[in-house]
Structure 1
Amino acid sequence: MEKALKDEEKTIVKRGMKVAKKRKYGEIQPGIKWGPFVLRLPGVHVGISWPEVLQGGVLSLATGGALAPLMMQYFDISFEVAWSIVAIHLFWVWTQTFLFGDAYTAGWITPSLPLTLVFLGNYAPGTEAVQAMIAITFIVCALFLFFGLTGLGAKFNSIIPVPLKAGIIMGAAIAAFQSELTRVQTLPITLITAWIVVLTIMFSIPFKKLPNSKIKLIVTSNAILAGFAFAAIAGLISGELTFDIEWGIFIPQYGEMLATISPWGVGMPTFSMFIAAIPISIMIYILVFGDLLVADTLLKGADKARPDEKIDVNHTRTHFALVFRNLGQLFTAGVLIPLHGPIWTGVQVYIIERYKSSKKALDSIFTGTINWYWLAFPLAFLTPMIGIMAPLLPVALSLTLLLTGFACAYVAMSMVTDNTSRGLALAIGMLTAVQGPIWGIGAGLLLYLILIGKSNQPSESENQEQQQENSA
């Protein structure tokens, strides 16, 4: 084993991935500890892995840029201001792994995005919607802080009935699909092309049955990038997309950004906004805890496959990091519609599979997670990249919501195992997506007590056992 590891280290050095800090076998990757957090820098505490740097830089920028049209619509701001927020938010996404020391590939609280858009639709675009989003941010951060300090997140999650959680997730799916039925009318050929390509690569059973090959592996690993490429070609041929590329450096509109989209400029939300934001904030926390459980499951598999590194998972640290990220975003660049979350699931799966393959591929889990983001930040300030990305931002947003809806739908369906619970989850989902989170939680709890009753609620372990029997 030791000889094999030395051979791999030699290969890593030859590839230019040697790092200043070496990890002892079976220990945590070294870094600079500060409080409960650990700082690790690329090229210092972890090696540079160019496949992650290049692909991650482009995909992070494209996906992050998908927020620009949303913020323009709901916050009534210019593209320049929206892009300034996108650029700065990329830095705060990166901090989860390099500054705070989590092994998660950070992202947004993506499943909450469709529900948040439904909530913001109740407020006038501009200052009112910005203040409503500020209220959500403060309440969600308060929940992160409370459950981080007390460690009661798991207990709270276990109290919420499974059909109600499934209904909340189903609501996110329904809201996502609703938004796309409207959006597709603006770029029908471009968006439908992107949908077909990405859904085929990621979920098509006939595609999965094709013989394995290097081409198939490359395409599967770059499904979203393939969707962008085909959408760009279809959009150019149909005339739906035009690209205007200029050379230069983008200067962030920092003053206007703080004046129009931050508490410094628009002031604090009203008391009624804080009250109205409580139900959706609770929903968001439930979705975040679900993301943490998914992330932990993935990391356990990686830990087992690579005994040379101990992956440190600490939910208290993650809760505190999310507080810092969301408040840092709020006071340096204004509100962010989906909020900062712990995991970008698709990328987490990709990096873990690379990490599990060998030490040559990724010396440390942090070699993948830290390198994935940093190039996106400088790319965001290059106007040629903005010229390429700007026409494709509706595609990026559409794919984000489509995949969110698709994933939320099958996760919600897998959580409930009897017909009453399935019907209840769908009803809660419809109420949440159409009428809002207050109806979703209020009517959902009432329907749950009437149709199922507290004493008949199966435990999560029983649900998992039933799912295994159904799939057998």
Structure 2
Amino acid sequence: MRKKRPYGGIQPGIKWGPFTMRVPGVHVGFSWSIAIQGAFLSLATGGALAPLMMEFFAIPFEVAWSMLAIQLFWVWSQTLLFGDAYTAGWITPALPLIIVFLGGFTPGPEAVQAMIAVTLVVSVLFLFFGLTGLGEKFNTIIPTTLKAGIIMGAAIAAFQSELDRVQELPFTLISAWIVVLVLMFSIPFSRLPNTKIKVLMVSNAILAGFIVSAIVGIASGELAFNIEWGIFVPQIGELLATTSPWGVGWPSLSMIIASIPISIMVYVLVFGDLLVADTLLKEANKARKDETIDVNHTRTHISLFIRNIGQMFTGGVLIPLHGAMWTGIQVFVIERYKSSKKAMDSIFTGTINWYLLALPLVFLTPMIGIMLPLLPVALSLTLLLTGFACAYVAMGMVTDNVSRGLALAIGMLTAIQGPAWGIGAGVLLYFILIGKKRIYEPSSEEDEQKSA
């Protein structure tokens, strides 16, 4: 029998330490529509990691897919075991930066050790700032222009990576890009009447991109599907031997030191995600008075520490790292939650059900047969949307011409030379061009006069 929530209260669950576990069917209801969408998109986008793991860690597809199964559990744990009201995911904006960082190491054990170093430093930052509560203060110390430069670096690196990939599957990828960008960002499309078909398409923009890319890929001969029936057996032994400290050993001190600049960048990106999540959940709290959504950054930081360390020891290091929120899906869940209690009883009905079917389906070979040809599309869409979103966020953070130019310079240095160059040169240029303390912020009119 399901436990009922008092009006205006927090959704019931099993308390353990600072965390709360909520079991589907006991503490939250089932939502098969959310679970089915979540399963397909989680496997499709999660599968985008497989090509990266194969490239940088020099592992076969079977080992990379085994990692996907384990990381799905750790992603789900954020809401299922630890009690956050987030539709958890990776630190997606960090993905392009990490790709640049790993490009400086030999594929195989050396690149794995470099990723272990990043995982260790970022996890320590999560634990330190979570226990001390200094995360917000640290975030305010970093000038907005430097943050914009870091985010711009992620955008540039993301677009760079797609210039080569599009040459391999031009018709497939470009068709997927057009569909997703139109549905998610097109101004003319957004002005069309909000019919049921339009709302359905926008809510499933990524899924629509996959469907169109599959049709175009088959028609153009760029994609071919080979579906077999069976059960996938995870290659846990080989996975741990090739992608974890158990097999490749610990990174050297010099490697850990080299990972500090990118780790700081990653933490800045994570805290930005948390601020966005706070805004979304506050809007949800205003719309639904029947439930109080508990937000606790200390809990989130500690759970992110556990997720990343747990992933490293049980399923190998994860290239984008575990993050608090899958932004697009968080928006989808919250919008449905805000519509009515009938549509979604609790916020956790959405966040927990999203991953409910993904874990069992990841072991079915027919699903792998469907996903395998679409993995390049999944990776491409992930990086494209990351780049697009990071670009407009970075541009919106700076308000004068000097800051815009500096953000672009930091972004270029980060994407081309690496995070150490980006953060080092960025701090130096900030003090040279802007100074320790900005005395006067010019208006947009004065900016235009100066630029003229």
Structure 2 residue 394 is the aligned partner of structure 1 residue 412: yes
Q: Deviations over 1:6-51 (max 9, x none)?
A: xxxxxxxxxxxxx611000011000000000000011110000111
Identify which of 362, 365, 382 aligns with 1:400.
Answer: 382
Identify which of 336, 355, 370 aligns with 1:354.
Answer: 336
Cα distance in 1 between the residues matched to 2:130 and 2:190: 40
Q: Paired residue for 1:322?
A: 304
3-state DSSP of counterpart to 2:262:
helix
Q: Deviations over 1:81-100 (max 9, x none)?
A: 00000111011100000100
Structure 2 residue 232 is the aligned partner of structure 1 residue 226: no
Q: Deviations over 1:376-420 (max 9, x none)?
A: 111100000000000000000000000000000000000000000
Distance 1:150 1:175, change over 3 A: same
Cα distance in 2 between the residues matched to 1:91 and 1:62: 16
1:411-450 mapped onto 2 (5 Å cutoff): 411-450=393-432
1:1-400 mapped onto 2 (5 Å cutoff): 20-400=2-382
3-state DSSP of counterpart to 2:224:
coil
3-state DSSP of counterpart to 1:248:
coil
Cα distance in 2 between the residues matched to 1:189 and 1:457: 51
Shift of 1:458: 7.9
CA contact under 8 A between 1:21 and 1:45: conserved in structure 2?
Answer: yes
Shift of 1:212: 1.5
Cα distance in 1 between the residues matched to 2:147 and 2:169: 34
Q: Paired residue for 2:450?
A: none
Distance 1:118 1:457, change over 3 A: farther
Counterpart of 1:354, as a letter, is R
User: Please, which runs of 5 or more residues in structure 1 have no aligned partner?
Assistant: 1-18, 464-472
Matched positions, count: 444
CA contact under 8 A between 1:232 and 1:241: conserved in structure 2?
Answer: yes
Cα distance in 2 between the residues matched to 1:211 and 1:437: 44
Shift of 1:80: 0.2
Q: Deviations over 1:43-67 (max 9, x none)?
A: 1100001111110111111110110
Q: Normalising to structure 2: TM-score of the pair?
A: 0.97
Cα distance in 1 between the residues matched to 2:102 and 2:253: 16
Counterpart of 1:126, as a letter, is G
Shift of 1:159: 0.2
Q: Deviations over 1:263-295 (max 9, x none)?
A: 000000011110100000000000000000000
3-state DSSP of counterpart to 1:38:
strand
> Which consecutive aligned stretches of 4+ in structure 1 deviate over 4 angstroms post-superposition?
none
Cα distance in 2 between the residues matched to 1:436 and 1:161: 20
3-state DSSP of counterpart to 2:437:
helix
Shift of 1:209: 1.2
Shift of 1:455: 1.1
CA contact under 8 A between 1:177 and 1:401: conserved in structure 2?
Answer: yes
Distance 1:449 1:48, change over 3 A: same
Cα distance in 1 between the residues matched to 2:427 and 2:144: 11
Shift of 1:457: 6.9
Counterpart of 1:385, as a letter, is M
Cα distance in 1 between the residues matched to 2:359 and 2:372: 16
Counterpart of 1:387, as a letter, is G
Q: Deviations over 1:237-256 (max 9, x none)?
A: 00000001000000001111
Counterpart of 2:314, as a letter, is T
CA RMSD of aligned residues (A): 1.3
Shift of 1:211: 1.5
3-state DSSP of counterpart to 1:20:
coil
Percent sequence identity is: 76
Counterpart of 1:406, as a letter, is F
Q: Normalising to structure 1: TM-score of the pair?
A: 0.93
3-state DSSP of counterpart to 1:149:
helix
Cα distance in 2 between the residues matched to 1:191 and 1:268: 38
Shift of 1:210: 1.2
3-state DSSP of counterpart to 1:269:
coil
Counterpart of 2:172, as a letter, is T
Counterpart of 2:367, as a letter, is M
User: Please, which runs of 5 or more residues in structure 2 have no aligned partner?
Assistant: 444-452
CA contact under 8 A between 1:161 and 1:457: conserved in structure 2?
Answer: no
Cα distance in 2 between the residues matched to 1:193 and 1:339: 29
3-state DSSP of counterpart to 2:20:
strand
Counterpart of 1:323, as a letter, is F
